Amino acid sequence: MKKQLNIGFAESLISRENPYLQYDELEKIILQNKALDLICFPELYLISDSKSKYINENILNDIFDRIDYLSNTYNIAISYGSILPENDKLFIAQIVSIPNKSRIVYKKTHLGKNELSTFSVGDQLFTFEYKSFTLGIQLCIETHIPELTTIQRLKGANIIIAPFNTPLSASKRIDLWKKYIPTRSYDNQCFFLCNNFYGGQLITSPSGKILFESCKSTTQSFTIEYQTLNSKTDFLKYRRPELYNNLL
C-alpha cells in the first residue's frame, strides 16, 4: 500500500535576532501553501543570533504557541529551527508542530566545533509519527554520523528531516549533499529531506535516487510516495550488532 506526503521547503530570512519578524514571514508562507502536509524551514530559522535579547522562554513559547495554532488551523505540520533556552543553557533545537498533537522538540545531539562554546548538547534520539510515516530529525553535521541514520531506521523511521545552517551557496551545498546523502538513504531505505538556511533543497529516496533538488529561494514543494520495503533490499536485517560491540 502506497503512502503519500506533500512536502514544502522554505528559507526566507528577515532577521537573525528577532523571532517575531521571522514568525511573520513563516505565517505568510504557511498561508500561501495551505495544501501541503509538511513544510520544512531550516535549522535556526526562527532565531540564530545567540546574543539576541529575544532569547527568553516566555517570548519563544509565545511564538511556538502561535505556530502550533497555524498547524492546527491549516492541518499542516511545520518543522522549524530555533535557539532554545532551558535551565541556563542554550540548545540548537528543531521543533515540529503537528496538527492537534503535542509539538516535537529535538535538541541537537552533536555539535560542530564552532557551536560547542555557545550551545549544550541534547541527549535524546527519537522518532515520531505523522500521516502513516515515521520521521526522525538530524541537524546539519549530524547527517555525517552514519550511526544516527541506522538508529533512527531501527526505530522505524522512513523519513529523515535534515535542516542545515551552513554558509555555503545553494549549489555548493547541493554538491556536498550529493556526495553522501543518497548513500544514507539507500543503505537505510529512507527518504532524506534536506534544506539549508542559506539556500538549497534536496530529497533522496529509499533507493538512493535524487527525487528533487533546487537552488531557488522561493518556497518549493514535492510529493513523495512510499511503498512497503522489499525484504530483499532491507540491509539492516543483515546486521550483527553482537559482533560490532565486541570490536569496540
**pTM for the full model?**
0.93
**18-22, 84-88, 221-225: the lowest-pLDDT one:** 221-225
Residue 183 pLDDT greater than 70, yes or no: yes
- The Cα 125–Cα 184 span in angstroms is 17
Q: 88: which 3 cell numbers?
A: 541556563
Residue 36: all three cell numbers together: 501541503
> What is the chain's mean pLDDT, rounded?
92
Tens digits of per-residue pLDDT, 97-116? 999 999 999 999 999 999 99
Q: Is the pLDDT of residue 227 over 70?
A: no
pLDDT band at 202 (very low <50, low <70, confident <90, very high): very high
- Give pLDDT tens digits for 22-65: 999 999 999 999 999 999 999 999 999 999 999 999 999 999 99
